[in-house]
Structure 1
Amino acid sequence: MKITFLDGSVKEFKDGMSAIEIAASISPSLAKKTIFALVNEEAYDASRPIMQDAKLELKFKEDAFSVLNHSCAHLLAAAIKAIYPDACFGVGPAIEEGFYYDIAVDAKLTEADFAAIEKKMHEIANKDLKNERIEVSKDEALNLFKNDKYKCEIINELPADAIISVYKTGDYMDLCRGPHIPSTKYLGHFKLTAISGAYWRGDSKNEQLTRIYGVAFFSEEELKNHLNILEERAKRDHRKLGRELGLFMLSEYGPGFPFWLPNGMILKNSLQDYWYKVHTREGYKFIQTPMMLNRELWETSGHWMNYRENMYTTVIDETDFAIKPMNCPGGMLVYKRDIHSYKDLPLKLGELGLVHR
């Protein structure tokens, strides 16, 4: 097979060689650095065989934060399964700042359980287990996960002839597209950070699962730096400061809507005064558009079709309205009020609007 590298060079290799084998044929140090690869722009495990001509891009630690954290989510699930053999699992993706896994377990888990779970995770990681990709049929997948109703629900939604990938790490197997890091030896630097409830598939009509969050890095220094950032961020949490400084309050009569208190109004008015001063200096003129506008406008802007589930809507005199989730459509109506020449541009209009979404 012919492999095209990022620099445009083309070399021939034996069919079925993996990215890490190709890297090793070039340089042992290159293979040691390889975490995963892009094969024709599809993410591949470093050990996954390549069966056809392809464009190959090797990926290293600096590009592998998501892959590392996805693998750490599997490590978390493996530890949970070892401690709670009857546990079932929802999904466990990498996210912007780490990973999470949704878990159904009889025990009521809290942050107090993190130490025991992390200990088990380290035990598994220290075994240097390979992440082995196995491709199975739909029937085989259903048999493998017959005791996990959440995995079976996902599998049952796939076509009858689907080829399904499963990852095996020691005794633990998980339904997953991949890719993953080559082995658990990379998973020595992680921390479980939070726990919450989460409805299966985000639907409140479904069972509530336990969601455990965590984060992993390739070095202890990176992990410590990140945890320091989280600690400093917690000190600046607006909910904490709002309560401690008497800036605003929240009420069950308006969940998510702040009631500004006297100290908060001083701060808010000062920020608004500064905003007006800066925008005036830069040549802006100011407008104020209605908080609620007709459905027709939101259909024109695309909001009604694409974001309606995140908008607050109501019916007035048999007409649909929505509280504005952003200022732009109202601003465009102001722009359309007059005919403009290119000589009028840039037209600088500013609005401190109240939006809800």
Structure 2
Amino acid sequence: MNKIGETTLEINLSALAHNYRFLRSKIAPSTKFLAVVKAFAYGSDMVAIAQKMQSLGADYFAVAYAREGILLREAGITKPILVLHPLPINFEEIIDHHLEPNIYSPKILKAFIETAKKKGQVKYPIHLKFNTGLNRLGFWENDVDFIFEQVVDVPEVKIISLFSHLAASEDPNERGFSENQVNTFKKIAEALSQKLGYRPIRHMLNTSGILNYPDAQFEMVRSGIGLYGYGNHKEVDAQLRPVATLKTIISQIHQIEPNETVGYNRAFKSDGYRKTATLPLGHADGIGRPYGNGKAHVLIHGKKAPIIGNVCMDMIMVDVTDIDCREGDEVLVFGPQKSAEEFASGAKTISYEILTALSQRVKRLIVED
């Protein structure tokens, strides 16, 4: 019998430490390191990851929404936490839990200043994001004068960082575009710093940026996917260790006769005598329907078992005709032996999506080497 007994996501904190040290080795000792732990730390365990990263010496954390930051505070995380996509309805909670908002538009700036005044704050830390080409969130270059006019005589807030985000830092064919983003950000940061009379922390690099644009590390860098073992390039992936390993078991084995079908809508039709195994995970656990019908496979005793038929809500079926296996045997969905990037590629998607899609009903198991 296997050791896990049910679908389990193993989260290896030793692998996390390895990845952090690798990324740290790529930046100057004085450069601050911001660990991105949004989306339950890329589908793993946000609290366990943040606690480990805090002990390793991370300088900052980043989450997407206020609720994520509140959970970290309640878990004892004391380092600064940047909320990347704050919404006005959460501004009071952000202040109450000492979170630091990303201010990305004139409306958001005015609304947060109003809340800071209402809450009697003094020099409350805020971060300003500038859009240099991603066209998602952020002020424009020509907003510098407006921003200064809004904050110059406002003691309630203090700008402590300026940042932007590279659109294609992993793509060598877009190097010119990325360098233009960096140069635009430098110009914006210099113009606003001169008006403010001091230089806030500047940060622009994500994981691929850390590796490909070391001259643009400024005072801080941000890493998300790299901490979890993926570097957007095979050569980099080989130097990282996947933090998350998704395992399950065989619930039942069926002997299928020629012309029998498997699963909903009879999507798989047997061309001969086949043996199938049913596994206890499905699209409610994050393994979406695009992975069905041979688009992806799992490993059983080191051998490939393709997913057949349509993925069900709570189950998938795999072809184990040529695999010597039994009910209760362990199944590897992804991990160090078969990366999440490889699994995701079968459905023409990326590791980010499969990792963050993992349902919270999947058991999490924290391990260290």
Normalized against structure 2, the TM-score is what?
0.24
Higher relative contact order (CA 8 A, sep 6+): 2
TM-score (norm 1): 0.24
Larger radius of gyration: 1
